[in-house]
Amino acid sequence: MLHAKIVDLTKEKIKPENAEEFIASSKFGASIVFYGTVREDNENKKVTGITYDSHDDLVIKSFKEIYEEADKKLHIKNKSVFIEHVKGYVGLGEISIIIAVACAHRAEAYDLSRYIIEEVKKRSPIWKKEHYKDKEGEWLKGNPIQTN
């Protein structure tokens, strides 16, 4: 079971309670909720916030592919996964991504949560523009997406 969404911060807030509610089930014995949040420094620069941009359709497509691949690569059939990523301006300490997973056992839950965030970083078309205290903001370099 998968929930995948881009949260446009100009229209709504990202809500952790939605993640916990989605994965809650007595079928599972292990749940992990991962939050990505905005850090106050990066490469010796004082960060004041980050603006996230995304190609919404491709991001949702990538979330679905990552979820489906977890079946083949991690062999975790019975699972519940909630992935939301924001777009728009995010202040210090605020949430940019929530990945909530629920599985039968803890080892599966840890593996799945880690797998999803690492794959999102590699494959989901999301971009960050950092804003700084003493200088103009800049888009982070990132890594080229793979083409077929």
Considering only the stretches 20-28, 69-77, 106-114, 116-124, report the one whose residues sit in contact with other proteins under the rule CB under 8 A.
Answer: 116-124
Q: Which of 10, 26, 44, 148 binds other proteins (CB under 8 A)?
A: 148
Asked if 57 interacts with other proteins (CB under 8 A), we say: yes
d(CA 65, CA 123): 10
Asked if 113 interacts with other proteins (CB under 8 A), we say: no
In the complex, minimum distance from the CB of residue 35 to other proteins, in angstroms, rounded to a whole number = 11
Single-letter residue type at 95: I
d(CA 69, CA 53): 25
Nearest to 90 by CA among 143, 45, 127, 65: 127
CB 115 within 8 A of CB 31: no
Binding site for other proteins (CB under 8 A): 36, 52-55, 57-58, 61, 85, 96-97, 117, 120-121, 123-129, 139-148
